[in-house]
Amino acid sequence: MTMRVETKRDDAGRLDHLTIYKGKARRGVELQFIYGIDGYLREIEFTGKKEDMPDVPSIIELINEKFMERLGNIGNIERIGNIANTPLTGRIMSEEKNFVERWEYLHDETNRRDFFFMRYTGRSYPYSPIWKSEIATDPTLWNIPNFILDDAPASEGAGWRNVVNMTNSKDGVTVDECYIQPRMVFHPPCIMRITAKFPASIPAGGVVMFGFEVNSQGGRAIYAFYITDMFCGLASSCMTPTECPNSQSAAVTLTDQTNYHTFHLDYDPPHLRLWGWNGTAQVLLGTLTITGAPSAFDCVSPFITNESSVVVTGYCVGHWACWQRKAVEYSQTPVIYNVTMTSANTEYSQALPANTKKFLVHTRDGTAFRLAFVTGKVAAPTEPYFTIDGVPYWEDHINPALLTLYFACASAGKVVEIIAWS
């Protein structure tokens, strides 16, 4: 069924009204979006005749995929009967720069499940079950993970020390993969903090992990810390432009892993770093530099999971948080170079500082000259090279590890002036 859509936004730029027309119909239905004082979407009201309304799945798909990228809980979508009289309720997680979870709402028995699914989803973003066995089942029957109250170290008050028990089984016997991610995404670079304890040993077939993942059914890109029966450390697994998986890892040694300790996982492409407890202090435990494949995606989601093929107990997580660091590193140190090209048609060069962020180059009197980024191109002009004629040449928003400029001029004695920021 084709749909035509007209939208209106409020003064804050949020979607305010959405009018949907079925096919070529001249009469449509209107959806009004009502927000709470906290900025979250609280309710969607429908007006219009039921016969003018497109089918429910089409509306949900439209709202979910086209207008609300960070959609929270949608109550009873599959059970909506008379949609004109049943409000579609939901929540949008705005694009925050941080996320903190201490599971303090667990004491609310009545709303515990609703609170959980307003904030979290399983692997298939943005709305899926936590337990693998519940995929393709009625969302009203989905179960939340197992929790332990006030189990984390007593650094905060009661109720704020709750942990999620990441045992991959509901009954302690039947294997059931458990995966949790918040309904929000972060733009790298970002840092995750997590307080966790792990089993003393992992049996064959066991794998527990936490990290960052591209939020689309897994496997596309994962940057994580994980433990198996044979490995403990940092790992990346991402798809290359040719769709071939590229996996890399770096081993890490844990100390006192059966007790709670705080870890910080820093995803700063192309680097993945882990800080943690070494027995006496918080130190850098390991670094993985990702090479040979895309190391950065626009959006990633924090996640914790127990994907073991056997029941693995003893993996618990509390005090879970994530912060987005500034994506732009501003230049702080300028340097000026003056290089005299004593002889005509002779190559001269200037190495710029490591990690230069921007530079500008020209001749002092505006005389044209040739520029290249590799040697052997500018003395006896050999393509490719670049001619700078009067107007200064500049670049910014760059981040090369090393950069050298090579230049030559048809006139002797000209001075090249360079400003570089790092």
Distance of CA 93 to the CA centre of its chain: 14
**Percent of the chain predicted with pLDDT > 70:** 73
Rounded Cα distance between 41 and 155, Å, is 34
Q: Calculate mean pLDDT across residues 165-194.
A: 90
Residue 193 has pLDDT above 90, yes or no: yes
What is the pLDDT, as a whole number, of residue 76? 30
160-164, 174-178, 333-337, 363-367: segment of lowest average pLDDT: 160-164
Number of residues in the chain: 422
Rounded Cα distance between 102 and 105, Å, is 8
More confident residue, 181 or 28: 181
Cβ atoms of 245 and 260 closer than 8 Å: no
Tokens of 294: 């895309």
What is the pLDDT, as a whole number, of residue 167? 96
Rounded Cα distance between 122 and 129, Å, is 5
Q: Name the helix (H) or strand (E) containing 113.
A: helix 112-119
What is the pLDDT, as a whole number, of residue 35? 64
DSSP at 50: G
More confident residue, 355 or 211: 211
Residue 294 has pLDDT above 70, yes or no: no
What is the pLDDT, as a whole number, of residue 324? 82
Amino acid 179 reads Y
Q: Name the helix (H) or strand (E) containing 114.
A: helix 112-119
DSSP at 263: E
Mean pLDDT of the residues in the chain: 79
Residues 20-79: tens digit of each pLDDT: 776 666 677 777 776 655 455 656 666 666 566 555 445 555 554 444 433 333 333 333
Cβ atoms of 59 and 20 closer than 8 Å: yes
SS3 141: helix
Q: Calculate mean pLDDT across residues 168-183.
A: 92
The tally of CA atoms less than 13 A away on the side-chain side of residue 377 is 16
Rounded Cα distance between 123 and 219, Å, is 10
What is the pLDDT, as a whole number, of residue 215? 58
Per the DSSP assignment, residues forming a β-bridge with 303 are: 211
Rounded Cα distance between 122 and 125, Å, is 7
What is the pLDDT, as a whole number, of residue 49? 62
What is the pLDDT, as a whole number, of residue 82? 32
**pTM (2 d.p.):** 0.61
DSSP 71-105: B---TTGGG--STTTS-B---B----SEEEE--GG
SS3 390: coil
- Where does the pLDDT of residue 292 fall: very low under 50, low under 70, confident under 90, or very high at 90 and above? low
Nearest to 356 by CA among 393, 399, 326: 399
